[in-house]
Amino acid sequence: MTVTLWMAVSLNGMSAREDQSEDFLSKTDWEMFLELVRACEGVIWGRVTHQLFEQSVRSHFAELPIIVVTQNSTLSTKPGSIRASSPQEAVALLTRPGSNRILLAGGSQLNAAFAREGLIDEVILAIEPVVVAKGIPMVAPNAPDLRLSLVGVEDSRSPTLRLHYRVLKS
């Protein structure tokens, strides 16, 4: 099972503005995300990301398993969405024979938690040609460094650049 971290970010690594606005991201980012979702066994994300994107993702993938990692035990979820309390539990809920890829789609705190647990195998980024002065980084400041090896670069959807990395694990 491969856990792939996906994020659409500014050139300086911001996934959203401080107010959660993503006005600097493009339609291309959404298209890239949907392509990755199509190729995965399920999506894992945090509560805020869930509240922002569940309806949009469900409109494309009604049967897709979505795992929401949250400590909020009262969070209500729709059919097909399951609450988990930790990164390990989230991965376990999606791991089954023959499954290949799980997509981790944020937010910042959850990405950091997965990094701390050594659960990220790949990183795929859509880089937008903008520098966002104040925002939410793709991983929270308490995350460990991830050493990466470049797998591929896609520049055919200019001006968005897609970078694909493998996480080097010791």
Going from the N-terminus, what domains does the chain have, and what CATH number goes with each? 2-167 (3.40.430.10)
pLDDT at 154 over 90: yes
pLDDT of residue 98: 79
> What is the length of the chain?
170
**Residues 136, 18: contact at Cβ < 8 Å?**
yes
Reported as a pLDDT band with limits 50, 70 and 90, residue 57 is very high
CA distance 134 to 149: 28
Distance of CA 134 to the CA centre of its chain: 20
pLDDT at 87 over 90: yes
Burial class of residue 34 in the structure, from the number of CB atoms within 10 Å of its CB (0-12 exposed, 13-18 middle, 19+ buried): middle
Instruction: Please compute the mean of the pLDDT values over residues 156-161 and round it to a whole number.
Output: 93
Reported as a pLDDT band with limits 50, 70 and 90, residue 97 is confident
**Residues 25, 127: contact at Cβ < 8 Å?**
no
Average pLDDT in the chain: 94
Instruction: Please compute the mean of the pLDDT values over residues 95-111 and round it to a whole number.
Output: 92
Instruction: Please compute the mean of the pLDDT values over residues 126-151 and round it to a whole number.
Output: 97
CA distance 164 to 167: 10
Predicted model pTM? 0.94
**Residues 54, 81: contact at Cβ < 8 Å?**
yes
Instruction: Please compute the mean of the pLDDT values over residues 3-15 and round it to a whole number.
Output: 97
Which residues, other chains included, contact 124 with Cβ-Cβ below 8 Å and sequence gap of 6+? 4, 5, 6, 7, 32, 36, 162, 163, 164, 165
* 128-138 confidence digits (pLDDT tens): 999 999 999 99
